[in-house]
Amino acid sequence: MAGTAVLLIGHGSQLQTAAEDMYRVMDDLKRSGRWDIVEAAFLEITPPSIPEGIERCINQGAGRVVIVPYFLHLGKHVLRDLPRIIEEAGRRHPGIQIGLGGHLGYDPRLALIVEERAEQALAAMDTAVG
């Protein structure tokens, strides 16, 4: 039976460290053991490209590839670019199921993270003053 892959999609950047947090999430997903294959790919600049990421998943035995955009905002990349790239990939790999999950977007848990970051900043400010 073919495996299921999760392919995290980042924007890409010239800054080498820009994707470190996404790679940490990818490693967490791998450790969870829920998915047969977990990979990452990028829309632009940073390798591997999305088509290369899909190929990596298929080469590891994926019969299904779930693409999850690691994007907070619903912009042109999520609305237009990713669906187009996935449609093209589906034509290149007719025997493989390729689906697009929702972008990260809004989640009430994000407010908790923002509060935590604000508290950390306040604590650093208090330490600097004191």
Q: Tell me which residues are annotated as active site.
A: 11
In terms of phi and psi (left: phi > 0; alpha: psi -120 to 50; beta: otherwise), the region of 41 is beta
User: Residue 33 to residues 6, 97, 103: CA-CA distances in angstroms?
Assistant: 12, 21, 22
CA angle 14, 37, 82 (to 5 degrees): 50
- Is the CB of residue 18 less than 8 Å from the CB of residue 46? yes
Cα 49 to Cα 40: distance, rounded to the nearest angstrom = 9
